[in-house]
Structures are given as C-alpha cells and as structure tokens.
Structure 1
C-alpha cells in the first residue's frame, strides 16, 4: 500500500512540514504566533569535494531551486 505523500511525489520531511504548517495556521492568534516563531530556522550547507568546502548556501534557497526543477520535469 502506497502512502499518499509518496504518491503525491513528496518526501516524508516535506509532508511533515506541510502538516505542521497546517496545524500552526489553525491555532488561535496567541498560540499561533508562538508556534510560527518556532518554525523559523536558518540552516546552511556546503558541498565538500576533495577535502575542500564549497560555497555555503542557505538550505531554504536550495530547496526552492530543487522543488522548482522537480516541478518543471513533471
């Protein structure tokens, strides 16, 4: 039996992010603002090749580019 998130072409982490955002948006004003602050993150990554660190990039920007290229390929 296939999972619906897999059938939709999502990764499990992306599925969880969408579900969490949906729950946060359904909260009342006070708890929603606190929950939205916890959602903010600033992750960066760098690709290493031959023992040298490449350019450091924000993870959110890299994810946006990857999702756009995946959407174009469909």
Structure 2
C-alpha cells in the first residue's frame, strides 16, 4: 500500500507543510493569527570552506544568492 502523499510525488516534509497550512487556514481568526505566527520559520545557512564558516544567509534568499554567486 502506497501512501497518498508519496503517490502524489510529495516528500513527507512537504506533505506536512501543506497539511499544517490547511489546518491553520481552517481556524477562527483569533486562533488562526496565533497559529500562523508559529508557522513562520527563519532558517539560516552558511557555507564552510577551508575549515572556516562563511557568511550566514537566510534560506528564503538562497535562490537569489546562489544565482549571484554563480554569475560572479
């Protein structure tokens, strides 16, 4: 038996993101606002080169920063 999210071509993390968003949107306004604030993430990453940590970048900006690094 295949899970529905797997058959749809989603990863488990993506499935959880979609399900969580659907639940948050179904709540009443006061509860929904508080739940949406908890749903926001601020993830940062940094590239290590030669044993030294590079500049920490926001993951949401990663596609634009990767494009500027490859063009430079």
Q: TM-score, normalised on structure 2? A: 0.69
Unaligned runs of at least 5 residues, structure 1? 66-74
Corresponding residue for residue 66 of structure 2 = none
Shift of 1:61: 3.8
Once superposed, what is the RMSD of the aligned Cα atoms? 1.8
Where does structure 1 differ by over 2 angstroms across 4 or more consecutive aligned residues? 47-50, 52-57, 59-62
Q: What is the total number of aligned residue pairs between the two structures?
A: 63
Question: Is residue 17 from structure 1 mapped to residue 24 from structure 2 by the alignment?
Answer: no
Structure 2 unaligned blocks of 5 or more: 64-72
Partner of 1:44: 44
Q: Please say which of residues 4-13 and 22-31 is displaced more in the overlay.
A: 4-13
* Structure-1 separation of matches of 2:6 and 2:55: 31
Partner of 1:10: helix, strand, or coil?
coil
Q: TM-score, normalised by structure 1?
A: 0.67
Q: Which has the larger radius of gyration?
A: 2
